[in-house]
Amino acid sequence: MSRSTASASRADTSDAPTPDLPASSPDEALEEVFGYDSFRPSQRNVIDRVIDGDDVLAIMPTGSGKSLCFQLPACLTETGLVLVVSPLIALMQDQLEGLEEVGVPSTLINSSLSRRERRRRISAMREGAYRLVYVAPERFRSDRFRSAIEATDVSLLAIDEAHCISQWGHDFRPDYLALEEARQMLDEPPVLAVTATATKQVQKDILDQLGLDEADIIVGGFERPNLYFDVREATGKQAKLEELVELLERAPSQSAVVYCATRRQVENVADKLDVEGFVSGAYHAGMSDRKRRVTQEAFMAGDLPVLVATNAFGMGVDKPDIRAIVHYNMPGSLEAYYQEAGRAGRDGEPAHCSMLYDPADRDIHDFFIENSYPEKTTVKAIWLELRGRGTGRHGIGPEQLAEIVESSGRGPERLHEWAAESSLDLLSRGGHLEFGYRGDRPYIEVEDRARIRELRINWDSLAQQREVEKRQLEDVVTYASGNRCRKEHLIYYFGATPDFGDDCDYCDVCLENGEPELAESREAPSDAPETIVRKILSGVARTHGEATVLDVAAMLGGSSSNRLERRGFAELSTYGRLDEITQHDLVHAIRRCLDVELVARPHGHRIRLTSLGADVMKGSQSVPIDLIEWVRAEIIEGAED
């Protein structure tokens, strides 16, 4: 299981190792607590400033170890608490589990917990049970939490994903604006604000919003020498698919993430890759929590080589051996692009970051912007409809509301439910209404009948944010359509300076000798084709019809997936029997066994042996000659090539 999928209830583990705390120095904490023997670029500089009590804004890209900059000081402070503000529950859970593994007393307090459990942890925090506590910015709305944290000695306020406080950033969160007041309430402890993506304008805005006039700004680690960046112009779905297939074929058995702009595209691209012979899975926010968890775990364990996802995937996920990140659509900002691309090659080995550029993709992002930041006329039309219904609860939701307003003629000619929901969110933040679901039924609770001029909405801020998004989109178009060194463009964009001189020699603009190869050589399996087939059939038999194709391939390959352990497949005698064959090849070999009816899917996705398959496994029937030839050509000779 990846850290980000850990249960939120796991916050205080008694089985974790107990290091000697506090450590006497950063070097001791690094080695004795976290198990590292050296700091990454910029980490030590940031930590030293924090230990000295300075306010610091650290801009360090994805994969550069930002979290250690506030986790390590928690191991050094004799008294006091490190309070970490983080926007995502999954991100908190991921980092918390890592701290649990090394024995640092820590917890999280957020909405994923029961009220009783939140109260227990708040009480433990007041009693000094933790060195580090994670909270969401919304937690400062709670009077109970505010009272408890005021009575706690906070020695460092760390703000993760600090760009969320800036309206010039790519992921503005209004609740972050309350952090300046929270800092004052805590008697102005030192602040460490960290983010992977902040232009100079965003950096200034972060410091202004937090009231940090004399903070040190540390920008570092933006050069990733092992990452190859390129942009491929691909107009239309077929051209994009061809480019994507060509990219993935460079390393067919290695981990890759394909980012798409919409959920529908994720499903379509995953289906097309399946037809093209790739072992892939889909991941987006419209899937059930269980399905996302199973898919993410399979990818993290290496059982699912290709993951097709929206930007819902990635925050807090640390898989070091991702060899390729492909943006099927151009992203909405260079901040988002560099953050997502930076998830490749964290192990320091070569990795490929590609953008498939179709100018028509701009329409997708224009649609996002239009509906995320609706015009004043749209919000007015929504409110007039609701105001006319009177105060109290109404059993309608964004979709029905959009249809009503559109047909009334008061709003825009076409009103998407997304724009209606964004309008409701603005009105909710102003205290004019609440909306949501009771079970599967939507509701809108109208709190007052304010006139349009009385609406507590910052129209100037809304318009500004809309313009910020448009400008960021223009920056992506400039990057994708230009002929400037890709790395130089990105590094300067974030206010850093490249060390490589005139060109990087590792992007499509600078590299003269073609693109780098990513595929690693591997040993050919030592078994004969017939033996490989019989081992596969034996693996299917041992799972007794309780496993999918992916499960059996993972089991035969010796995967470390917790899913196999939970289901008992890691204890089977066939576990790891074909660990010299890639997951990609194992999946396709099992599918070949399905084609020749040695294996069947009687119900759903789970597989079992047929009577013919059982006879072939036992040796009373010969392995089909076509299957032998396929295994020899694709698995044995393919490895030799």
- Residue 391's pLDDT is 96
Q: What is the pLDDT of residues 88-108, one digit of tens each?
A: 887 788 888 889 888 999 999
Q: What is the pLDDT of residues 345-401, one digit of tens each?
A: 988 888 999 999 999 999 999 999 999 999 999 999 999 999 999 999 999 999 999
Exposed/middle/buried for residue 594 (C-beta within 10 Å: 0-12, 13-18, 19+):
middle
Residue 14, C-beta contacts closer than 8 angstroms, at least 6 positions apart: none
* Distance of alpha carbon 96 from the chain centroid: 16
* Token pair recorded at residue 241: 């698919």
Q: What is the pLDDT of residues 138-186, one digit of tens each?
A: 999 888 899 999 989 999 999 999 999 987 777 788 889 889 999 999 9
Which of the four pLDDT bands, split at 50, 70 and 90, describes residue 1?
very low
Q: What is the pLDDT of residues 63-73, one digit of tens each?
A: 778 899 999 99
CB 257 within 8 A of CB 343: yes
* Token pair recorded at residue 283: 């991941």
pLDDT at 569 over 80: yes
d(CA 379, CA 371): 11
User: Shortest CA distance to 91 belongs to which of 5, 9, 197, 175?
Assistant: 5
Which of the four pLDDT bands, split at 50, 70 and 90, describes residue 593?
very high
**HEC string for 43-92:** HHHHHHHHHCCCCEEEECCCCCCCCHHHHHHHCCCCCCEEEEECCCHHHH
User: What is the mean pLDDT of the segment spanning 424-445?
Assistant: 94
Which residues on adjacent β-strands are paired with residue 444? Answer: 394, 435
d(CA 532, CA 548): 19
pLDDT at 529 over 90: yes
For residue 384, how many C-alpha atoms fall within 13 Å in the half-sphere facing its CB?
15
Which residues on adjacent β-strands are paired with residue 11? Answer: none
Average pLDDT of the chain to the nearest whole number: 88
Which of the four pLDDT bands, split at 50, 70 and 90, describes residue 316?
low
d(CA 271, CA 277): 10
- Residue 174's pLDDT is 83
- Residue 7's pLDDT is 31
Residue 70, C-beta contacts closer than 8 angstroms, at least 6 positions apart: 50, 82, 84, 132, 156, 158, 160, 192, 194
* Residue-wise DSSP of 542-579: HTTT-EEHHHHHHHHHT---HHHHHTTGGGSTTTTTTT
Which of the four pLDDT bands, split at 50, 70 and 90, describes residue 418?
very high
CB 242 within 8 A of CB 260: no
Least confident interval from 130-134, 299-303, 561-565: 561-565
Please tell me whether the overall predicted TM-score, pTM, comes out greater than 0.85 for this model.
no
Pairwise pLDDT comparison (61 vs 516), residue with the higher score: 61
Pairwise pLDDT comparison (77 vs 130), residue with the higher score: 130
- Residue 71's pLDDT is 94
Which of the four pLDDT bands, split at 50, 70 and 90, describes residue 5?
very low
- Number of neighbours of residue 597 by Cβ within 10 angstroms: 12
User: What is the mean pLDDT of the segment spanning 239-244?
Assistant: 94
Which of the four pLDDT bands, split at 50, 70 and 90, describes residue 426?
very high
Q: Domains of the chain, with CATH numbers?
A: 3-219 (3.40.50.300), 227-357+483-493 (3.40.50.300), 367-456 (1.10.10.10), 529-640 (1.10.10.10)
Q: What is the pLDDT of residues 601-624, one digit of tens each?
A: 987 789 999 999 999 999 999 999
Which of the four pLDDT bands, split at 50, 70 and 90, describes residue 317?
confident
Which of the four pLDDT bands, split at 50, 70 and 90, describes residue 18?
low
User: What is the mean pLDDT of the segment spanning 290-296?
Assistant: 90
d(CA 223, CA 240): 28
* Token pair recorded at residue 517: 């190869």
- Residue 639's pLDDT is 65
Strands 255-259 and 322-327: parallel
Least confident interval from 20-24, 96-100, 503-507: 20-24
Exposed/middle/buried for residue 413 (C-beta within 10 Å: 0-12, 13-18, 19+):
exposed
- Residue 3's pLDDT is 35
Pairwise pLDDT comparison (220 vs 83), residue with the higher score: 83
What are the C-alpha distances in Å from 317 to residues 3, 95, 398, 607? Answer: 8, 10, 32, 31
